Every structure is written in C-alpha cells, then in structure tokens.
Chain A
Amino acid sequence: MPKRGAPPEVNAGSMADIAFLLLIFFLVTTTIETDAGLDRMLPPIEPPETDVVIKQKNIFEVIINKNGQLFADEELLEVSQLREKAMAFLDNGGAPSGTADYCNYCQGARNASSSDNPSKAIISLKNDRETPYGTYITVQNEIVGAYNDLRNRESQRLFKRDFTSMEAAYLNPETPESLKDDLKEKVKTIQDLFPQKFSEAETSNN
C-alpha cells in the first residue's frame, strides 16, 4: 500500500498491449525486401548525328523468337551455350598484331572473321513481341554473365580481385570514401578493357 500523500502508481500493465499493437501494425504494413536486378542503359531516342559504319564481323546478333528459341550468329543455339559463344566472340581479338586494334590481353581464338577487339565488339539483342519475359531475362543474364566472367578474369590478373566484388564494394554506400577513389579507378580500368556494348534493338512484329 502506498503511503497516504504519495502520488498513486500508474498501472503499466497495458503497456505491453500497446507495444504489441504497434508491433503488429508495423508487421503488416512493411515488407522486408532488398531489390536486386539487372542494370541496363537504354539507347537515347535521338539517332546519333554521324552514322557509324560497323563491320559485320564485329556484331554478334542474338535473336529470340516467340517460342523462346535462340538464333545467334547464324545458328540455332541452346541458351546454355550462349555464354560460351558470347565470351568467345568478345575475347576473340581478331585484329592482327601491329595494327591499332590489336588486343594484347585477349585470350581468344584470334579468328580473323570474328570480332577485332573487345572495345569494337557489339552484341545486338533482338526479340519478338511474343517472347516470354523470363526467357529474355535469362538471355540478358547470360550476356551480362559473359561480360562479368571476362572482366573477372582481367581483374584477377591485374588486381588479384574479382571485378564483381570490386564493383559491389564501389556501389555500396557504406564503403568509406578513401577506398572508393581507389576502387573507382580500378573499376574504370576493367570496364574500359571490356566495355558493355550491348544494343537492344526495337522489337520486330513478326
């Protein structure tokens, strides 16, 4: 019993109920999600002022039809083979030694009828209006994967670290500024070795 004259104690028994109410409110209105996905840049709508002539051998054309079948570089392909084919194309380095386009870090077949240099090589992706989105993402994933595999290889050779982990660290807002400057340079170096030249043409209607 409190002494007479002292203020009466506030009953805190319902505090738990109030807190539970708040907790349940937050549980139902929130979602635990970290979004992730494939980053892409769309081409600007204005056509470039000067027409660039691109040699046919520097273009790797991937077409997905409405049944999700893949037609790449003039042959029918399984999606599982695409990464390998794309890597062989990008890493080809067909320009002969001594020319301006010579690629000194390429480890490919150096086939004269395939791409000259990774910086010239373009992957063009075409799809039908009926193509399922899932297939399209798989193909995109494989092409990004081909670039990442090649970049990781060069990154391991030059900096003894995977490109993907460097890029993730660079993009992470929690990385300290001092580290970021160093990473930025390395990421840029690798990106210049294998630039993502990846064109998404307008959809065909047939």
Chain B
Amino acid sequence: MSKFSKKKDGDIPAVSTASLPDIVFMLLFFFMTVTVMKDSSLKVDNILPNANEIKKLEKKDRIIYIYAGAPTQEYQKVFGTETKIQLNDKFANATDVGDYILSERAKKPQELQNVLTTALKVDKNANMGIISDIKLELRKVNALKVNYTTYEGDAFRNLQ
C-alpha cells in the first residue's frame, strides 16, 4: 500500500462545503447586529409623512411608541375606517393613552423615567383631531417630549 496512491482517472473532486456554515454564520451575525426586534405588529395603516428638518431618535430604550391610523384591511370590518390609536398590540381610545404612558414609564429604570420621549407614529392621512386628543392626554401625564416620527424626504410631498 503506497502512501501516494494515484487517483482514478476522470474523477472530479467534490466541492467542499465545510466553510458554508461559517459564511451563513457571518450573515447571521450581520443581521443580528444591524437589526432590532419588532416589538408589535401593526394593526393600523402607517405611512408616515415626510420631513427634512428631522433629528434621529437615538437610544431606543427611552422611547414610548404610539401608533395611529386607519385600521388595516382585515380589521376594517370590526373597527371601521376611522383613525384609531394602537397601543402595544391593541386598539385603544384617546383616554387610554395616559394610563399607557404611566405604565410604560413605570417599567423603565428610575434614571430614565424623566428623559423619556413619546414617538408618535401617525399615518399621514389621519386627521389632527386624534393627535390633539393624544397631545392633551400626554400633557395630563406630563409626558411633554414628543417626536413626530417621519420618513426623510421632501415635506411638500405630503400635500399631494
């Protein structure tokens, strides 16, 4: 038995797939680091308006989200097409916003409780009435820092 045995003629060597896991793990880590977990699924239409004088919302742990918009297709039968507020995973009335803010605030660590921002993610076709109701509720619980979340773009596109 010789150490250097001759290969048989015409035999194509198989492509090694040993490094495939490494490549996939690399992709996996990339996605794990650049993305954040989705916290709630949207039950309302949420096409945000555009604006260009915007500031980035850093520090995700200091933000409380409030969504508003017309219910999506599958919820329209039950909830109609009027603008609704979504808190966490369920529809809510404007009067529930205060309690929601207080309970979310209580969940945050003590040192962050005074620096929280409320991000309003509102569909651009919503009307201002519901926003005013939310703002009034926010003022009642002293959550005065708000951010009207928008896409980056030309603000005049909202008018069309």
Q: Which residues of A contact B (CB under 8 A)?
A: 12-13, 15-16, 18-20, 22-23, 26-27, 29-45, 68, 79-80, 127-138, 140-142, 144-145, 148, 167-168, 171-173, 200, 202-203
Q: Are A23 and B27 in contact (CB under 8 A)?
A: yes
CB-defined contacts of B51 to chain A, threshold 8 Å: 37-38, 137-138, 140-141
Given contacts A26-B31, A32-B34, are A138 and B155 in contact (CB under 8 A)?
A: yes
Q: How far is the CB of B60 from chain A (nearest CB, A)?
A: 8
Task: Tell me, in angstroms, the Cα distance from A128 to B132 when the chains sit together.
Answer: 9
Q: How far is the CB of B156 from chain A (nearest CB, A)?
A: 6
Closest to B117 in A: A39
Q: Are B38 and A30 in contact (CB under 8 A)?
A: yes
Q: Are A172 and B49 in contact (CB under 8 A)?
A: no
CB-defined contacts of A80 to chain B, threshold 8 Å: 156
Q: Quick one: which of B124-156 are within 8 Å of A by CB?
A: 124-129, 131-132, 135-136, 138-140, 142-150, 152, 155-156
Task: Tell me, in angstroms, the Cα distance from A40 to B32 when the chains sit together.
Answer: 32
Q: How far is the CB of B68 from chain A (nearest CB, A)?
A: 8
Q: Are A140 and B148 in contact (CB under 8 A)?
A: yes
Q: Are A12 and B128 in contact (CB under 8 A)?
A: no
CB-defined contacts of B78 to chain A, threshold 8 Å: none
Task: Tell me, in angstroms, the Cα distance from A33 to B65 when the chains sit together.
Answer: 14
Given contacts A30-B38, A33-B36, are A42 and B59 in contact (CB under 8 A)?
A: no
CB-defined contacts of B119 to chain A, threshold 8 Å: 35, 37
CB-defined contacts of A129 to chain B, threshold 8 Å: 127-129, 132
Q: Are A137 and B139 in contact (CB under 8 A)?
A: no
Q: Are A38 and B36 in contact (CB under 8 A)?
A: no
Closest to A173 in B: B58
Q: How far is the CB of B20 from chain A (nearest CB, A)?
A: 4
Q: How far is the CB of A202 from chain B (nearest CB, A)?
A: 7
CB-defined contacts of B57 to chain A, threshold 8 Å: 34-37
Closest to A64 in B: B128
Task: Tell me, in angstroms, the Cα distance from A28 to B142 when the chains sit together.
Answer: 36
Known: A38-B147, A128-B128, A136-B128. 14 other contacts (CB 8 A): A12-B21, A19-B25, A23-B31, A36-B56, A38-B53, A127-B128, A133-B49, A133-B125, A134-B124, A137-B155, A138-B155, A167-B55, A171-B55, A173-B59
